[in-house]
Structure 1
Amino acid sequence: MRPTGALHLGHYHGVLKNWSRLQSEYPCLFCVVDWHALTTHYETPGMIEQHVWDVLIDWLAAGIDPAQATLFIQSRVPEHAELTLLLGMGTPLGWLERVPTYREQIEKLKEKDLATYGFLGYPVLMAADILLYRASLVPVGADQIPHVEMTREIARRFNYLYGREVGFEEKALAAAKKLGGRRTKRYHELRNAYQQEGQSEALEQAHALLQESQSLSMSDRERLFGYLEGACKLILVEPQVQLAKTSRMPGLDGQKMSKSYGNTIGLREDKHSIEKKVRTMPTDPARVRRTDPGDPDKCPVWQLHLAYSDETTQNWVQKGCRSAGIGCLECKQPVIDAILHEQQPMLERAQKYIDDPSLLRAIVADGCDKARKIAQETMRDVREAMGLSYS
C-alpha cells in the first residue's frame, strides 16, 4: 500500500478486512511501498515518513496481526531496488507503455509532471515487490489483474533468459530423489502426465506435492518446478491472482470513497468530525421540507445504510423516507452510530502504538529483518543466474 495519506473506511472495507482474513490462511507479507509514493509525489517527499507510520498504525488498528503476518517498509529492504534494476535490463519498453493505468494516471494527474523514468518504470518496481518474495498469490481487485499479469510476463522472460542452468536436468533428478521413495515416484508420474498428455490437474498436484515437502532447499524446489514445465530453472515464481473479496464503500456523496473526491471518513477520525460529516451529507434533492416524501435510491445516505445497517433498519428507512415519516437527520443517526461502533476497537488498538511509538518501531524492525532474509536468498539466485556472483 502506498503511503500517500491517512487511510479511510474505503481502505478498510475494500482491502484491510480481506487482509485480516488472509493472514490466518496464508503466510502473508504486507509492505508499505514508500518508493512507489515517490513515483507521483517526488516533488513533495516531506510528508511520506509520517504517512508511513500512520499507515502502519492503521493496519494494526484494522486487525493486521504482527504475530501472524510480516509488516515491513519497502525502502528498508534495499534488495527491492537491486531486483528492480536487474529486471529492468530485460523488460521491453513497449510493455511498460501499454500498462492500462499508465496513460490513465497521466490524464488524471495533469497537475503533476509524470514524464519521468520512475513513473514509467513503476510496473517493474511493483513486479520486484512481488517476485522478490517468490509470492504464489497476490490478493487484488479485478482492476489490478493486468499488473499481476505484467509481473508474470516479467518473471517468465527472466526465467527464459537466465534459467538455462548448466547440468540442470542432472541437478533436477538429484533433487527429486530428496523427496524420498513414493513422493519421488509420484513426482515423475505427474510430470509425465503433464508433459506427455497435457493434464493440467497433474501440474497442480505436482506443485502441491513440492510445496508440502519440507526436505527441499529453495533452489532444489525451484529446479523441480522448472523441470515439471520444461527444461529450465524457475528462478522467479510466476504469481497467481487471488481475487480479493472486496466491497465498494460509498463516500459522503454516493460515489466510491476516495481521497481524490474529498468524500472520505478516516479510519481513526474524530467522533465529532464524523458526526458533522454524516449530518451534513446531501440527501434526496426532492426532500426540500421535512414533510416532503423522498426516495432512498436517490440518496447517498441510503448507500451507507446498505453498508452498515441491518434489514430491520433498512426497512425502517425505506418506509419512513418514502412516507416522510422520518426526517433526514433521524435517518442518518443509525449510520453515525454504526460507524462509531465499528471504529471503537480500531481506536483502542491504535492507541497503544500512539502512546508508545517504540512498539511500532520494534514490529517494523522485526518485519524488515524477516523480509530481508527472504529477499537476500532470492537475490543470491538472481545474481548467480545472471553471472553476477563473483568470487
Structure 2
Amino acid sequence: MAVAGAEKKNLRILSGMRPTGRLHLGHYFGALLNWIEFQSSHESFFTIVDWHALTTKYQNTKEIKNNIWEIALDWLCVGIDPDVATIFVQSAVPETAELHLVLSMFTPQNWVEREPTLKDMVKMLAANEEEAKEKVTYGLLGYPVLQTADILVVRGGLVPVGRDQESHLEFARDVARRFNHLCNVDYFPEPKPKFTPTPVLRGVDGQKMGKSYNNDIKIADTEEDTIKKVKQMITDRTRIAKSDPGHTDLCEVPWPMYRVIKPELTRQVKQECESAAIGCVACKSRLGEAINDFLAPFREKRRALEKDPDRVRKIIEHGNIKARKEAKKTMDDVYEIIGLPRWNN
C-alpha cells in the first residue's frame, strides 16, 4: 500500500494547540504567523487538542470547553482562513483515539519513557519524583503516542516546529517507520519538520512570555490593559535617571518588542534611547500605542466573531466533518493493513 500522505504535490501540514486560554503575542509570532503563510501553499489542518489538555488539567476540566472557543476566535481573527485551512477539535475526531490505541500496541515502552515531550510535560506537572508518582497519569505517559496519532490520522507529512523542537517530532517518525516496517507496507508518511522562525518574545517581567507566568499580552486584551502591561516592562536596569544614556542591547523587553511590532521605528528608538533624548516611560508609552495599533484589526474582527457565534460554530463543525472524513479513511486502511475487521462502518 502506497504512502497515504503523498497524494498532494505539497505534503499536508498538521499543527495544533492545547486549549489553555486566550492566546498572546508569543503565539502569534511563534506559530500563527507561520500557519497563515503555510495555509496558502499547503493543505493545512489545524487542531485544538482538548484531549491533550486533560493530561495535565484532569482535575480542573471546566475551563476547557470555553478555552476551545477562545482559541478558535483567536485563530480566525488573526487570519487562519477556514476556506483554505481545516480548523477542527481533536475530540470531534474519535478515530484519533482509535489510532492512538493501535499505535500504542506497536510502540516500545522505553521509547515513550525517554521521549523529550513526556519529560517536559512531567516537569510541568510535578516538582519531584515523589510528586510525579501521584500526579503523572497513564494518559500522560501516552501523550507522545497520542501526539503521533494526531499527525498520522490525517496523514500529515509536515509539522511546523522550531529547531529546538525537532526531537519531539522524531518520536512520530520512529512510530510511523516501525508501523510500516512491521506491517510490511509503505503507508504512513514519516512526518518531516517544517522549520519555522520562532522568535522568543519576553513577557513584561523579562521571562519568556507565557500564560502560566501571567506576563503576557493577549491578542484579545483591551487597549487599556495593554498599556498597563507595557508600563510594567523591564527596561535597561543600568539606566538610573532619564538623563542617563540608555543601552538598547540591555533593554530586556521593550527593545525586542519594538523589533517585531514596529521594526521601522527601531533606528529612531535606538538613537533616542542611547542619546537620552527619551526616557523609558515615554518610550514604553509609545510602544504600547504601537502594540495596540498592530492588534487593532485582529481585535475588531474578534469582536465581530464574538457577536456571531453561529458562524464560528459552523466553521468548527465543518472542519470537524472534513477532518473526520480523512481520519475514517486512515482507520479503514489501518484495519485492512493489520487484518482486523472494521465493524459498524
Q: Same fold (TM over 0.5)?
A: yes
Supply the distance in 2 between the matched residues of 1:49 and 1:390 (Cα, whole angstroms). Answer: 31
Give the deviation of 1:250 after TM superposition: 2.5
Map of 2:140 onto structure 1: 119
Give the counterpart of 2:42 among 8, 26, 32.
26
Q: In terms of mean alpha carbon deviation, does 361-370 or 104-113 score higher?
A: 104-113
Other-structure match for 1:373:
325
Q: Which has the higher helix share?
A: 1
The Cα shift of 1:285 comes to: 2.4
Q: 1:307 aligns with which of 231, 245, 260?
A: 260
Go from structure 1 to structure 2 and tell me whether the alpha carbon gap of 1:70 and 1:383 turns closer, same or farther (over 3 Å shift).
same
Question: Per-residue deviation at 1:390?
Answer: 5.4
How much does 1:10 deviate?
0.3
Counterpart residue number, 1:208: none
Query: Percent of aligned pairs with the same residue?
Result: 45
**SS of 2:46 mapped into structure 1:** strand
Shift of 1:150: 0.9
> Aligned in 2, Cα 1:304/1:366: closer, same or farther, shift over 3 Å?
same
Other structure's SS at 2:294 match: helix
Paired AA for residue 326 in structure 1: I
Task: Please tell me whether residue 36 in structure 1 is matched to residue 52 in structure 2.
Answer: yes
SS in 2 for 1:67: coil
2:341 corresponds to 1:325: no
Q: Give the SS at the match of 1:19.
A: helix
> Which residue of 192, 209, 221 maps to 1:240?
192
Unaligned ranges ≥5, structure 1:
164-232
Q: Which amino acid letter does the alignment assign opposite residue 6 of structure 1?
A: R
Residue 169 of structure 2 is aligned with which of 133, 148, 155? 148
Structure 1 residues 332 and 95: CA distance shift in structure 2, 3 A: same
Q: Is the 8 A contact 2:125 2:136 kept in 1?
A: no
The amino acid that maps onto 2:57 is: H
Say yes or no: does 1:83 pair with 2:99: yes
Contact 2:332 2:342 in 1 (8 A): no
CA distance in 2, matches of 1:350, 1:54: 10
Is the deviation greater in 315-324 or in 83-92? 315-324
Contact 2:305 2:311 in 1 (8 A): yes
What displacement does 1:104 show? Answer: 3.4
The answer to whether the aligner puts 1:255 opposite 2:207 as a matched pair is yes
Q: What is the Cα deviation at residue 256 of structure 1?
A: 2.4
SS of 2:159's equivalent in the other structure is strand
Deviation at 1:257, TM superposition (A): 1.4
Unaligned runs of 5+ in 2: 1-16
Shift of 1:141: 1.3
Alignment of 1:126-275 (within 5 A): 126-163=147-184, 233-275=185-227
Q: Which whole-Å deviations, capped at 9, do the CAs of 1:274-306 have from their partners, x for residues lacking one?
A: 001112322222333322332222222212122
What is residue 308 of structure 2 aligned with on the other side? 356
Note closer, same or farther for the CA distance 1:245–1:296 as it changes in structure 2 (3 Å cut). Answer: closer
Cα-to-partner distance string for 1:77-98 (whole Å, 9 max, x where unaligned): 1001000011101110000011
Encode CA deviations 1:238-260: one digit per residue, 9 max, x unaligned: 12111123222232133321223
Alignment: residue pair count: 321
Of the structure 1 ranges 321-330 and 37-46, higher mean CA displacement relative to structure 2 is found in 321-330
Could you say which residue in structure 2 is the equivalent of 1:102?
Answer: 118
Question: 2:299 aligns to what SS in structure 1?
Answer: helix
Structure 1 residue 119: Cα displacement? 0.8
Q: Give the conservation status (yes or no) of the 8 Å contact 1:2–1:34.
A: yes
The letter of the residue matching 1:56 is: A
Matched, 1:73 2:89: yes
Distance in 2 separating the partners of 1:315 and 1:353: 37
TM-score normalised by structure 2 residue count: 0.88
Q: Deviation digits for residues 316-372 of structure 1, max 9, x if unmatched?
A: 322322332211122113321221111111112212220011111100111011111
Alpha-carbon distance in structure 1 between the residues aligned to 2:121 and 2:317? 33
In 1: Cα distance, 2:276 partner to 2:267 partner: 14
CA distance in structure 2 between the aligned counterparts of 1:69 and 1:110, rounded to whole angstroms = 36
Q: Judge conservation of contact 2:103–2:179 (CA < 8 Å) in 1.
A: yes
**Aligned-pair CA distance for 1:108:** 3.8
Cα RMSD (Å) of the superposition?
A: 1.7
Give the match for residue 335 of structure 1.
287
Kept in 2: contact 1:8–1:266 (CA 8 A):
yes
Check the 8 A contact 2:236/2:251 in 1, yes or no. yes
Deviates more, 1:17-26 or 1:256-265: 256-265
Partners of 2:206 and 2:233 within 8 A in 1: no
Contact (CA 8 Å) 1:2, 1:36: kept in 2 or not?
yes
* 2:307 counterpart of 1:286: no
The CA deviation string for residues 110-143 of structure 1, in whole angstroms up to 9 with x for no partner, is 2675421111110100000011111121111122
